[in-house]
Structure 1
Amino acid sequence: MPAVPSQQNTGTGDSAPGRATSGPGGQEKPGRSRQPASKRPRHRLSQFRLGHLLLFLALLAAWWIVTATGLVKPLFLPSPGAVWDSFVQSNTCRPVAEGQTAEICGEQNYFLWQHLLASLERIAVGVGVGFLVGTALGFLMGTIGWLGKLLDPYLNFLRSLPPLGYIGLLIVWFGIGDVSKVWLLFLAAFPPIAMSTLVGVRGVQKDRILAARSLGASRAQVLTRVILPSALPSILNGLRVATGFAWTTVVAAELNNGIPGIGALAYISGTQLNTPLTICCIIIIGIAAVLLDMGLKRLSTALVPWQGKA
C-alpha cells in the first residue's frame, strides 16, 4: 500500500480569513481588509462633526418655520434672514436717507467687529491683570502656611460676591470710563484664578518636593521645576473658568458708556426694540465665548501635554 505523503505547511493552502496569504515568488495576496486603528478616531470625529452640523441645521429650520408661519411676532423673534441682514448692515456703510450722499457706517458709529474688538481688549486687560495677581497670590498662599490661613477667608469672601454688585461703587471711584470696566472684569477673574492656583500648589505631592530637596535642589528650583509644573494644570483650568466668568460680565460692565462694546450694543439695541441686532449681538457673544474657550483648551494641551498621562 503506497505511503501517503505528509502534508507540509508551505503557505500555499487556505489561510485564516482576514490574513494575507503568500503566493508564488513570496508575494502576499491581499486577504480581507481591516480598517487601521489610526483611522477609527478620524471616522468618529467626522461623525461627531456631522451630528453637530445636522443639529444646527435642524435648529435653524425650526427657527425659520416658527417665524415664517407667524407663530411668534417678529418683534419678539425675528427671522434668520432679518438677523443676517442686521449683521451685514452693522458691518457696512449705508446712506443716511434715500437720495443723500451722506453715509452712516455700522451701528452707533462703529462696525460690529469694532464693538467686539473693544470688548475683547477689555477682557484681555482685566483677565490678564487678574491672572498675574491671582497666580502670584495663590503661590504665596500655597507655599507660606500662615499667609494662606490668614488670607483664605478673605479670598473666599471675594469669590462669593457677584461682580455686578461692584458696578455702582466702581463708577463712584473710577468714573464711567474704561477704568471701571477693567476693574469689574478684574474682580470677576481674580478670585477663581487665585483659588485654582492655591488648590494646585497645595495638591503637589510632598514626595516630589522631598525628593527634589534630597537631590540638592534649591527653594527656587523646587518652585520652578516641581511645584509650578505640577500646579500648572489647575492654574490653566482656573484661567479658563475666569475668562468665561469675565466674558459673561462684559454686558454689565458696558452698561454705562460702553460704546464701542458688543455688550453695550446688545443692551442699546434691546432698549430700541431692534430685536434682530440684539439677537445678532447675542450670537456673536456666544461664538466669541466658544472660540475663547477652545483657544484656552488648546493652550492648556500645548503647555501641559502630560496632563492625564502621568
Structure 2
Amino acid sequence: MISIGATRTGTRPVEFGKADSTGSPRGLRRIAVRAGSLAGLLLLWWAASAAKVVDQQFLPTPGAVWRAFVRANSWHELAPGVPREVRGEQNYFLWEHLLASLQRIGLGAGAAVILGPLAGFGLGTSRTLAAIVEPYLNFLRALPPLGYIGLLIVWFGIGDTSKIWLLFLAAFPPVVIATMTGVHGVSADRINSARSLGANRRQVITRILLPATLPEVIGGIRVAVGFAWTTVVAAELDNGIPGIGGLAYLAGQRLDTALTLACVIVIGLTALALDAVIKRIGDLAVPWKGKA
C-alpha cells in the first residue's frame, strides 16, 4: 500500500509541521538574522550613548554595562584608593544572586507546577467544584503581585517564606486554568467511546484525558514560570539579597544604571533559557502535538 504523499518512484513524502533543524540552510539563515539583529541593536545602543543623545546616567554604554557585569562577578576594591576588596555586589557574586532567585522560583513555581494540574483536573471534571472555586481562582489571577506582597510579609515575615508564597500564587492560577481548558477541550465522544469499550474512570483519565490535556498543561506551565520569573523583582523588594531581582532594585535605588541594566539583561536571558528548557521538555513529553 502506498502512503498518502508518497509516489511510486520512491520519493519521500512531505512532512508538514516539521521544524527546521539548526544545521539546515533555513535554520542557519534564521540564526544569522537573529545575530544580525542583535549586532544592530548593540551598535544602535553604542551610537546613541556615544553621541550622548541620552545622558549616560540614564543610558550607559554597552562597555559600562559589561564592566558592571564583570565587577559584580569578581573581587574588586571597595572604592578607588581603598585597599580593601569586596566580593561582587552586596558580598555575593552576580551568579550567586541569580542562583538564589532560581531557588525561590524552583520552590514557588515548582509547587504550582505539581499542584496546579491536580487542581485543574479536579475542577475540570467536576462542575460543582468548578462553580465554587473558579471565581476565587480568577480573582487571584487578576491581582497584581505588588497588591498583596505586603500582606504576605505581614503573615510570613520578610524571609524567603513570603517570597516563595508570592511566586506560588503568581504561578498557580495559569497552570490550573490551562489544565481546566485542556480537560474541557476533550471531546465527549472520545470519553463515551472509551467507556463503551469498558474503560473505567481511572483508564479514562490516564488513557484519554491526560494525553489530550498534556499539551495545554505544558503551555500553562510555560506561562506560569514566565509570570513567576517576572514577579521575582516584586518578590525580592524587601530583604531580597541575595537575589537578582533584589540586586536590580537596589542598584536602581543607588542610581547605578549600568548594574541595573546588567541585572535586567541577566533576568531576560535567564527567562529565555527557562522557556526554552520547558518548551523542549514539552516537545519530548508530547511528541504527537501538531501532528495529524
TM-score clears 0.5:
yes
1:219 maps to amino acid: R
For structure 2, list consecutive stretches of 5 or more residues without a partner in the other structure: 1-14
Q: Which residue of 1 aligns with 2:244?
A: 262
Q: Which residue of 2 aligns with 1:303?
A: 285
For 2:77 and 2:56, locate their aligned partners in 1 and report how far apart those are by CA, in whole Å: 25
Q: Does 1:79 align with 2:82?
A: no
Give, in angstroms, the shift of residue 175 of structure 1: 0.4
Q: Which residue of 2 aligns with 1:187?
A: 169
Give, in angstroms, the shift of residue 132 of structure 1: 2.1
Give, in angstroms, the shift of residue 278 of structure 1: 0.5
Question: Retained in 1: the 8 A contact 2:104–2:163?
Answer: yes
Q: Does 1:69 align with 2:51?
A: yes
Q: Which residue of 2 aligns with 1:243?
A: 225
For 2:80 and 2:277, locate their aligned partners in 1 and report how far apart those are by CA, in whole Å: 44
Q: Which residue of 2 aligns with 1:272?
A: 254
The 5 A counterparts of 1:125-140 are: 125-140=107-122
41, 46, 54: which one aligns with 2:28 = 46
The 5 A counterparts of 1:35-184 are: 42-96=24-78, 102-184=84-166
> Mean alpha-carbon deviation: is it higher for 101-110 or for 264-273?
101-110
For 2:62 and 2:80, locate their aligned partners in 1 and report how far apart those are by CA, in whole Å: 26
Aligned-residue Cα RMSD (Å) equals: 1.9
2:41 maps to amino acid: L
Give, in angstroms, the shift of residue 192 of structure 1: 0.7
Give, in angstroms, the shift of residue 156 of structure 1: 1.6
For 2:141 and 2:250, locate their aligned partners in 1 and report how far apart those are by CA, in whole Å: 30
- Matched position secondary structure for 2:86: strand
For 1:278 and 1:210, locate their aligned partners in 2 and report how far apart those are by CA, in whole Å: 57
2:48 maps to amino acid: V
1:112 maps to amino acid: L
1:204-246: per-residue Cα shift (whole Å, max 9, x none)? 1112212222222221111111111110001110000011111
The 5 A counterparts of 1:182-221 are: 182-221=164-203
1:34-55: per-residue Cα shift (whole Å, max 9, x none)? xxx99x8611111111111111
Equivalent residues, number: 274
Question: Retained in 1: the 8 A contact 2:145–2:234?
Answer: no
Question: Retained in 1: the 8 A contact 2:101–2:243?
Answer: yes
1:184 maps to amino acid: L
Question: Retained in 1: the 8 A contact 2:77–2:84?
Answer: yes
For 1:308 and 1:58, locate their aligned partners in 2 and report how far apart those are by CA, in whole Å: 34
1:294 maps to amino acid: A
1:81-111: per-residue Cα shift (whole Å, max 9, x none)? 1111111111111233567664211000000
Q: Does 1:289 align with 2:276?
A: no
Normalised by the length of structure 1, the TM-score is 0.84
1:283-308: per-residue Cα shift (whole Å, max 9, x none)? 00110011111111111101001011
> Mean alpha-carbon deviation: is it higher for 105-114 or for 64-73?
64-73
Q: Which has the higher contact order (CA 8 A, sep 6+)?
A: 2
For structure 1, list consecutive stretches of 5 or more residues without a partner in the other structure: 1-36
Larger Rg: 1
